[in-house]
Amino acid sequence: MNDKDDPIKSLDFARRQLRVDPNELDADTREKLMQIRHLALESSLEGKSSFPDWATIPIIAFVTAVIFVVLLYVKPEAPPIDEGPEDLEILLSNDPIEFYENIEFLQKWKNQGIASEEENN
């Protein structure tokens, strides 16, 4: 393969040539570069889309309707709330919270004592 067929060498050559000052380029090269630049700008400005313009409004309406229906009918499942009457009695009483903490400790201690007696018998 010769140097003209090697794309990497030709790209390196083009990079080296284009890094020089634009005024040092010959008139034909400058003209070709300007034409390529204008074609690139025109194609980027046109931005032809394969999506039809008339379809945007129905799609937006459909998406809005779906979101509306989801917000109305899909409700997150709330975690179950343990509504024990014991908690309500504690909250309504005038006793300090330490009193109930001590009662819970004594009940656990009593249950452990009963369980250890049953194991011994």
What CA–CA distance (Å, rounded) separates 106 from 113? Answer: 10
- What's residue 5's pLDDT? 66
Domain that includes residue 26, residue range: 7-46
Specify the number of domains making up the chain.
2
> Could you read off the pLDDT of 38-72 as tens digits, one per residue?
887 777 766 666 677 788 889 999 999 999 999 88
Give 41-91 as a 3 state SS string: HHHHHHCCCCCCHHHHHHHHHHHHHHHHHHHHHCCCCCCCCCCCHHHHHHH
In a domain, 64, yes or no: no
In a domain, 92, yes or no: yes
> Could you read off the pLDDT of 22-33 as tens digits, one per residue?
667 778 877 887
Q: What is the pTM of this model?
A: 0.29
Of 5-19, 79-93, 107-121, the poorest mean pLDDT is in: 79-93
In a domain, 113, yes or no: yes
